[in-house]
């Protein structure tokens, strides 16, 4: 049962990721990315991390993607245009971009090869123990307390930065 769930969710994840980068319309890309997040949340649940799954849906699918959706709807630029100018073609032309995609495929193949050399490592047998929120909380607030506080400062800075950057210039 777990195996079937893994393969189905993995297939959905990869299919939606490919479609995210393949769609012309950014609105559809955003919606497909939400599908990918849901599939990943399902994978996290099968791996015994319901808290990470729910946090992923609340923050990623529920807040960040709403932000993306707002920006896509406000800016409303559906199609892509061709590169302009000689300089643009040098770094943004078709050749370099396709070479870049080739490099990422090479990355994936290298990782596959490395994992193949490792030999199969089985997951611990038996039922997946669910990690309790209490265990996560104890670890987070004792050992990672500094990182937690630093992250909150980071979010504050990002909030202020986003407001300042997106503000309209005051009309002189």
Partner 1 sequence: MLPEPTLNSYLMLSAVLFAIGTAGVFLRRNIITILLSVEVMLNAVNLTFIAVDRFRGLVDGQIMVFFVITVAAAEAAVGLAIVIALFRHKETLTPDVFTSLKW
Partner 2 sequence: MTPELIAQLIVIGFTFFMLLNSAAVLVYMERKVAAVIQQRYGPYLVGPKGALQPLADIIKLIFKEELRPKSADAFLFYLAPIISATAAFAAFAVVPWGADTDFSTLAHLLFLDKIFGFTGLAHPIRLAAADVNVGLLVIFSITAMGVYGIVLAGWSSNSKYSLLGALRASAQMISYEISYGLSFAAVIMLAGSLSLATIVDQQAGYWFGFIPKWYIFIQPIGFFIFLTAGVAETNRAPFDFPEAEQELVAGYHTEYSSMSFAMFFLAEYVNMVTVSAVATDLFLGGWHGPFPLPDGFGWVWFLAKIFVLLFFYIWMRWTLPRYRYDQLMEFGWKWLLPAAVLNLLVSAYIALRVGW
* Chain contacts with partner 2 (rule: CB under 8 A): 27, 34, 50-51, 54-55, 57-58, 61-63, 66, 69-70, 73-74, 130, 132-133
When CB distances are held under 5 to 8 angstroms depending on the partner's kind, the choice from partner 1, partner 2, none that residue 66 binds is partner 2
Taking the complex as a whole, the smallest distance from the CB of residue 88 to partner 1 amounts, in Å, to 4
CB 40 within 8 A of CB 56: yes
Q: Which is nearer to partner 2, 67 or 111 (CB)?
A: 67
Taking the complex as a whole, the smallest distance from the CB of residue 84 to partner 2 amounts, in Å, to 29
When CB distances are held under 5 to 8 angstroms depending on the partner's kind, the choice from partner 1, partner 2, none that residue 172 binds is none
Q: Residues 129-133: contacts with CB within 8 Å, 24+ apart?
A: 129/48, 130/48, 130/49, 130/50, 131/48, 131/49, 131/51, 133/51
Q: Does the protein bind partner 1 through residue 73 (CB under 8 A)? A: no
CB 64 within 8 A of CB 73: no
Helices (H), the chain: 2-22, 26-46, 50-55, 65-75, 86-92, 94-118, 133-142, 145-165
Q: What tokens appear for 114 in the block?
A: 């490395």
Report the distance separating Cα 141 and Cα 147, nearest Å: 9
Taking the complex as a whole, the smallest distance from the CB of residue 136 to partner 1 amounts, in Å, to 5
When CB distances are held under 5 to 8 angstroms depending on the partner's kind, the choice from partner 1, partner 2, none that residue 47 binds is partner 1
End-to-end CA, the chain: 66
Among 81, 95, 126, 170, binds partner 1 (CB under 8 A): 81
Q: Does the protein bind partner 1 through residue 30 (CB under 8 A)? A: yes
Among 73, 92, 145, 149, binds partner 1 (CB under 8 A): 92
């Amino acid at each position: 049962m777990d195996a079937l769930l893994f393969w189905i969710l993995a297939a959905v994840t990869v299919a939606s990721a490919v479609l995210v980068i393949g769609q012309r319309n950014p609105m559809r890309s955003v919606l497909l990315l939400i599908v990918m997040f849901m599939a990943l949340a399902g994978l996290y649940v099968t791996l015994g991390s319901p808290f990470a799954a729910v946090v992923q849906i609340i923050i990623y699918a529920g807040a960040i993607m709403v932000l993306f959706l707002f920006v896509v709807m406000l800016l409303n630029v559906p199609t892509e245009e061709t590169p302009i100018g000689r300089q643009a073609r040098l770094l943004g032309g078709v050749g370099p971009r396709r070479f870049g995609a080739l490099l990422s495929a090479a990355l994936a193949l290298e990782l596959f090869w490395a994992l193949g050399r490792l030999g199969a490592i089985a997951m611990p047998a038996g039922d997946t123990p669910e990690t309790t929120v209490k265990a996560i909380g104890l670890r987070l607030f004792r050992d990672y307390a500094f990182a937690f506080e630093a992250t909150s400062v980071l979010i504050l800075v990002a909030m202020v930065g986003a407001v300042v950057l997106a503000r309209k210039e005051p009309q002189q």
